[in-house]
Structure 1
């Protein structure tokens, strides 16, 4: 393997699955790993609403779970147990590498016991790759020190030159670029740090363009949302493959524009955006991350929304993760594998 991403992570293809809140589980991640890509167990992986006699950590009968402003929807111990269950499932189905997402906006690990507990879990289970999600804030030196001291490689999303400079200076191992002008970004930062293209990479053209512009790999979200193994609600999967980009509705959250399937709540959020309501207030009207769970996991677009890539035109089939990865790989130049 000559590719820097493949060498660093021990994978066969420079394809990284981008997790979305609650929409991953151990079986899905193992399927991605077995196909040669890198799967990431996202926060609240494996979460279920229905009671299940086989486990108590990953189930609830409540309609509203935890504090909707927190990234984790469960308390620290339950979140850790939930992730551990899904790691067990992944290890039952693959010996290949996979990653775990750590989410925190706190500068000190001691101020975020849930995120810190997941780092300790990764150490115990010998998982050596993380996606650190800080929602536009730079990952602190304290977090980087904790992760590196436990043998964990760090990926971080960056949108601006300033964010990339901070991440590179602090020692982030892989930059996921979600801004504009990938070629210039790679020219500036790619010599020192591997770069993943992470902005709207969904079509054959965008995959080929990412590597033509110098990216070491691709960070892909929506195609995996509709994979057979994904815990996305079936009606949402069906709606995605039958929709096209022009059908999506948009609204603005802090730090990002959201592309969603239309529905009662998404249409309301779109109208609020048009009337120049502050993004933070729109996020509140969306019921924060509870709205995402309502939309993506429950399939309820009356009280929830979806979070998709801007271009979904070539996503037209619910298929196993292996098949999705095979189709993606066809557009990756041989020299980049």
Structure 2
């Protein structure tokens, strides 16, 4: 397959593994890259910039193919040392960075100076246009179906993608709600030149997640996600479990709630422990609505080959209707 995304990133297939907290580690990133896609190491999963340097080197022992690093920039009372993480990325010779959250404009010049290609993830066209003006090389457009933070506009990919394709000059990557070749074909037809998947890659052999969590996602339907933090205007789509049910119930109680009321439930360390121990109801587990499309746990290589085959089949089928 050849699109502006495959050419920009130097990959065989225009399929990118999303940067996922606690999940974007060397094992998964290298497997996706070896399968022909673009694996992503998540910077803030690593406690320090030096730990990120070591994780990048560990990834290089597992693949000689291109891979990137995700840096999610979020507001915080005590933010991580983002500039030091950027320097670690540059020092390690990484040439592809996925940014998310707040605008990466403060770091674009430094990254560009060292030949780094920047893909910025957005949940709205206005933010994508801003990223384009700031000089990013591509944008990943995240529809409302996605796991994690879908923004507050509630626009699904079926509308968001073609609007973005009409207004942007740089290539776009479809993100949110994609888990098979049919979805990939649809994304390409809507104007995307690649796809980004998070939830689907969580349910692969190489994902560093306990099998109990993977199996729970396999057994789930498209109705088994919850939208947390709606009342706090920081919406997050997660797997429906006891924790997310309790968070939403707390938000909906008379008088509402403050973040401090749910902080113990949603603590990152608790979510990480759940992913590692397999305690499905032990913490927050991010998941998109595409869990309704997932019914097996393949290797990354099996998944990518199947998706590309299915994508071609569905595009050919649709073209056949025009004869």
* Short-chain TM bin: 0.7 to 0.9
| Superposed CA RMSD | 2.6
1:196-228 C-alpha deviation (Å, 9 max, x unpaired): 011221244322211110101001011110111
Q: Following superposition of structure 1 onto structure 2, how do residues 36-75 of structure 1 map, counting pairs within 5 Å?
A: 36-45=36-45, 74=47
Q: Following superposition of structure 1 onto structure 2, how do residues 117-136 of structure 1 map, counting pairs within 5 Å?
A: 117-134=84-101
1:313 aligns to 2:292 (yes or no)? yes
| Whole-angstrom CA distance in 1 between matches of 2:114 and 2:7 | 19
CA contact (8 A) 1:156 1:172 kept: yes
1:139 aligns to 2:116 (yes or no)? no
TM-score by length of 1: 0.79
CA contact (8 A) 1:294 1:301 kept: no
Deviation of residue 138 (structure 1)? 2.4
| Whole-angstrom CA distance in 2 between matches of 1:324 and 1:82 | 30
CA contact (8 A) 2:100 2:122 kept: no
Deviation of residue 167 (structure 1)? 0.6
| Whole-angstrom CA distance in 1 between matches of 2:99 and 2:262 | 22
- Judge which range, 309-318 or 116-125, deviates more: 116-125
CA contact (8 A) 1:183 1:213 kept: yes
1:217-257 C-alpha deviation (Å, 9 max, x unpaired): 00101111011111112210111112222334442364333
Q: 1:333 to 1:279 in 2, by over 3 A?
A: farther
1:98 aligns to 2:77 (yes or no)? no
**Matched residue pairs, number?**
295
| Whole-angstrom CA distance in 2 between matches of 1:170 and 1:228 | 38
- Judge which range, 301-310 or 6-15, deviates more: 301-310
TM-score by length of 2: 0.82
| Whole-angstrom CA distance in 1 between matches of 2:226 and 2:193 | 32
Q: 1:282 to 1:113 in 2, by over 3 A?
A: closer
Deviation of residue 88 (structure 1)? 2.0
Q: Please, which runs of 5 or more residues in structure 1 have no aligned partner?
A: 48-73
1:293 aligns to 2:303 (yes or no)? no
| Whole-angstrom CA distance in 2 between matches of 1:256 and 1:106 | 15
Deviation of residue 92 (structure 1)? 1.2
Q: 1:81 to 1:139 in 2, by over 3 A?
A: closer
Equivalence for 1:194 = 171
CA contact (8 A) 1:22 1:297 kept: no
| Whole-angstrom CA distance in 2 between matches of 1:221 and 1:332 | 18
Q: 1:280 to 1:198 in 2, by over 3 A?
A: farther
1:64-105 C-alpha deviation (Å, 9 max, x unpaired): xxxxxxxxxx3xxxx223222222222112111000112324
| Whole-angstrom CA distance in 2 between matches of 1:303 and 1:91 | 33
SS in 1 for 2:195: strand
Equivalence for 1:21 = 21
Q: Please, which runs of 5 or more residues in structure 2 have no aligned partner?
A: 144-154, 316-323
